């Protein structure tokens, strides 16, 4: 599974939001890359480009849950991960920001990612 995750950089194929529907257009420049460096208690590092509100940190450390069903970031974000063919699906919830507009900024997201061609 680590090899699948770290194989190459991931880009958006589709982004679905539980309330707002298809938000793919907001993440057309999104990218996500994982390394396997084995630093401390983490498998490696992650790097996010144009993560928007769904991915607030541009980089950090990552790990896998013991059952290999979740990717865990060091900022306490947790993503259910599933591979479907060459696609990686990340299913997660973003907590609402303090005050202000919340549509598309929080809630349930499903990112369908593919490798950079």
With a cut of 70, say whether residue 98 has pLDDT above it: no
For domain 2-115, give its CATH number from 2.40.128, 2.60.40, 1.10.10, 1.10.3470: 2.40.128
Domain ranges (residues) in the chain: 2-115
Indicate the pTM of the whole model.
0.89
What pLDDT sits at residue 84?
95
Does residue 49 contact residue 42 with C-beta atoms inside 8 Å? no
Region 17-32: mean pLDDT is: 94
Q: Which residues pair with 114 in a beta bridge?
A: 11
What pLDDT sits at residue 107?
87
Region 16-41: mean pLDDT is: 92
């Amino acid at each position: 599974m680590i090899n699948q995750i770290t194989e190459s950089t991931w880009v958006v194929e589709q982004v679905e939001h539980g309330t707002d529907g298809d938000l793919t257009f907001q993440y057309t420049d999104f990218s996500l890359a994982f390394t396997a460096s084995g630093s401390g208690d983490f498998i490696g590092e992650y790097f996010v480009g144009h993560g928007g509100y769904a991915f607030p940190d541009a980089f950090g450390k990552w790990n896998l849950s013991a059952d290999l069903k979740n990717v865990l970031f060091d900022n306490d974000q947790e993503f259910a991960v599933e591979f479907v063919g060459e696609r990686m699906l990340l299913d997660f919830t973003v907590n609402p920001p303090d005050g202000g507009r919340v549509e598309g900024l929080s809630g349930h997201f499903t990112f369908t990612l593919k490798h950079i061609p």
